[in-house]
Amino acid sequence: MESNAYPAEKSGYDQPPPSYYPSHDQQPPPPNPYTAQPQPMMYPQQPQPMMYQQQPQPMMGYTQQTVYGAPLVKDYMVLSLITLVCCCWPIGICALLSSMRVRESLRINDRAGAEEASRTARTLNIVGIVIGSLIVVGVIVAVVVTRVTLCSDHDRHYGRC
């Protein structure tokens, strides 16, 4: 008689437990919003990677393009500025213009023109530094010679020169 006391409760024991794995005809359970991982942001159509190397676009201040297998062309811009300010400004101006011509030739992909302008800038910088150094040495020698010749024997005797 005890077995008939709770008939609804006992009827659930003779069925198999629910499967932990979803069957093919069932929908997956909705994700728990508190444990679900954030989904990455999807952007509009992304460009596909190219199969060839694209040349970089010229920008302001762009000095050299990278060409694989070929040496880079130097523009000697810093040396031209040093020659302009410190050594011999007329030659420094010419060297600076030649350095700017190197950058312009590289911007328009004229490698031969860039190499020629680079050689010119290097030569002008060397000449400007040599002439500037000779001028500095000449001024020092002239000051020393003038100082020595202007001092009389009397001034040298008393230690004023």
Q: Taking the chain (161 residues) in consecutive chunks of 10 residues, what is each chunk's mean pLDDT?
A: 54 62 62 62 60 55 53 90 91 94 92 94 95 95 86 69 63
The structure's pTM equals 0.52
The pLDDT assigned to 150 comes to: 78
Distance set, CA 19 to CA 14, 15, 16, 53, 158 (Å): 15, 12, 9, 54, 118
The pLDDT assigned to 152 comes to: 67
For 100, the token pair is 């700017």
Confirm if 73 and 98 have CB atoms less than 8 A apart.
no
Tell me the C-alpha distance between 101 and 13, whole Å.
92
**Identity of the residue numbered 25:** D
Confirm if 63 and 75 have CB atoms less than 8 A apart.
yes
The pLDDT assigned to 113 comes to: 94
The pLDDT assigned to 59 comes to: 52
The pLDDT assigned to 71 comes to: 72
